[in-house]
A and B are shown apart, each in its own frame.
Chain A
């Protein structure tokens, strides 16, 4: 009898462990598919960034036009086309570091890593340097499944590396592994931002969101990014991702 109980306990432990391992594997496989869906070797996009100081007031906004290049998961380059007051401003994000080129002074400034919570040179709206920085979800967060229904999973991600966020909640569609919503949390503010992706379209053979809305729940503001044109997996000159010459 005693042995039977011992065997039962061991079996229960094994079953629990197996369930745990299986769930872990599920989370990883989900997040890897999410990363895979969004993974591109290179990308180029012409986009608009609309900043709304009051998220409820859709008539009051500023419009910025940006040319953006991306390479791999980490590197991105942005050149501001408008407004004219900041035309020519360029931002390179690479391996967690950022550089900004100011055309009026001809100077390149390194952005301190701890300032990444700030809006990009005051023109990034509700997108901070960290939001615009690259990197795969799997590399940046440790995930667990919080809930699921027949259409989607909700995953909780805890940052692995240093981050301005304490956690994120990601909603993932079961049918296409796209992420219609990401919630950002900080220790101080709690639920701080929501990133909503919509108007999914096939671009260069990929199903991609063409409209992303970042809502800052603390500031009660929002920023809308609209992708007008995009191409993926095309050759892009390496100079745009080289901190020594991205502005040349």
Chain B
């Protein structure tokens, strides 16, 4: 941690020296033209632009079983993304993206939490809060170029890795998954210096100031440097292959209780019993007329609470990964791969312990290829994803790990197949198949897009989910081995409208 942080700081200092060197050349600067730099390079980019898009997504949700269809539910998601670019000087950039999101009906995530019984509160208890609309700045960042040194700072997407669906080395924000509304990678508050050693080598690093969950609540522990995620990466080009080596720290806040229901209930029961015993003891003292003893107990309890300081939240999980990725071409195939090896780090003791380290359990990888079928110009892609930390069997699935964001999916082996055909620029047909290779369950996503205008397209499609009972995409989950909930219907037809401006 110390060495890695030192390296990031060294990169920033290197940039500061470069800045100093640039300042020394101030006499050469043409003061009348802020679009040129000392070397005479002129900037042709737009100095200012405002643009964005709006997506309106309407989805139905139906359960089919044989020839029977359930009563459908409906929902609507509206996303406005307003983007702005400013270039006050040639080597300075500012970018911002403002989001307005409204989710109603079956598109409101709170409905799922309530269905599962994991919502922290009833929405009806807070009638003045709006659980449908959100407005926020997702990306707000600046970029400065100084010689071969670049520094990005603010809130911005940090998207490492070469995978298309899964990115084992991208560990700072939740990626969108089976999501037809979100297009932009979520921003993270961070600083990212990078230095190009040549046109074939570069070193980049980030130091983030918020954990992966980007939770809405603030705790004292957020200011602990131990809870700052970071990553360091060496990029290189060898032949026609791009490659990188990285070292990444992920910090994740998770207060969901994954223990078996028996353990949870036993602990709750013990607390309940201890409460009854304490109450009984106080009642006995009062019955004996020993009011002073009761007052003593009350005072001691109050003093303990007053002097205990702020309560701690031991829910920060820290993981370290060694990463490697590549992208290039072999024959007629574009090939890529991305690997993350989780280091044997003990989260409780905050130290590295080899112990019973299992390589297979700690590897995460995605490898794939893309290929255009000649003659019919059909673009295809196949990606295989391995998640060593995934459940080894259906019985071990835990929906809470997915809902918390700790995992994107539950099992270990997945395949993703995608095919797309564009006809006359206006029509696009696509088919995606996402398959859990362990339990055989699947999600099929057929879609058709029509673009009558350059900045408008309409897409109709569906999610078709299936698999055996209690398989991952079947939609029925067994909570704590005692309660089955049908979390997802298995047919979601949708219409998506996108207007760019």
Interface residues of A (CB under 8 A from B): 44, 46, 51, 53-54, 62-64, 67, 69, 79, 81, 83-85, 87-88, 96-97, 99, 104-107, 109-115, 117-118, 122, 125, 188, 219, 221, 234-237, 239, 241-245, 248
**B148–A84 touching, CB < 8 Å:** no
Task: Chain B residues near A125: list those with CB within 8 A.
Answer: 425
The answer for the CA separation of A88 and B45 in the assembled complex, in Å, is 11
B49 to chain A, nearest CB (A): 7
**Which residues of chain B (403-450) have a CB below 8 Å from chain A?**
422, 424-426
From residue A248, how far is it (CB to closest CB) to chain B in Å? 4
Q: How many A-B residue pairs have CB under 8 A?
A: 129
B residues in contact with A46, CB < 8 Å: 44
Given contacts A97-B240, A111-B334, A188-B374, contact A237 B329 (CB under 8 A): no
Taken together as a complex, chains A and B put the C-alpha atoms of A56 and B318 apart, in Å, by 61
Closest 9 CB pairs of A and B: A112-B334, A106-B157, A112-B329, A244-B202, A85-B500, A110-B327, A53-B424, A248-B150, A84-B500
B70 interfacial contact with A, CB 8 Å: no
Question: Chain A contacts of B296 at CB under 8 A?
Answer: none
Interface size on B, residues (CB 8 A): 63
CB closest chain-A residue, reference B379: A118
Specify which of B184, B237, B332 is in contact with A104 (CB 8 Å cutoff). Answer: B184
- CB within 8 Å of A: which residues of B? 37, 39-42, 44-46, 49, 51-53, 83, 85, 90, 143, 145, 148, 150, 152, 156-159, 162, 183-185, 194, 196, 199-202, 235, 237, 240-242, 327-329, 331-336, 370, 372, 374-375, 377, 379, 422, 424-426, 454-455, 498, 500-501
Most chain B CB neighbours (cut-off 10 Å) among A46, A67, A125, A243: A243
- Knowing A104-B183, A248-B143 are in contact, say whether A242-B196 is a contact too (CB < 8 A): yes
CA distance A244 to B145 in the complex (A): 13
> Which of A96, A105, A109, A117 contacts B327, CB < 8 Å?
A109
Bound Cα distance from A232 to B299, whole angstroms: 85
Given A84-B455, A122-B425, A239-B148, 18 further pairs, Cβ under 8 A = A67-B44, A84-B52, A88-B85, A97-B237, A110-B334, A110-B336, A112-B370, A113-B240, A114-B331, A115-B329, A115-B334, A118-B372, A125-B425, A237-B90, A239-B196, A245-B148, A248-B145, A248-B150
The answer on a CB contact under 8 Å between A244 and B235 is yes
Whether B422 and A81, one on each chain, are in contact in the complex, defined by CB atoms closer than 8 angstroms, is no
Q: How far is the CB of A150 from chain B (nearest CB, A)?
A: 41
CB of B437, distance to nearest CB on chain A (Å)? 25
Instruction: Name the B residues within 8 Å of A51 (CB-CB).
Output: 425
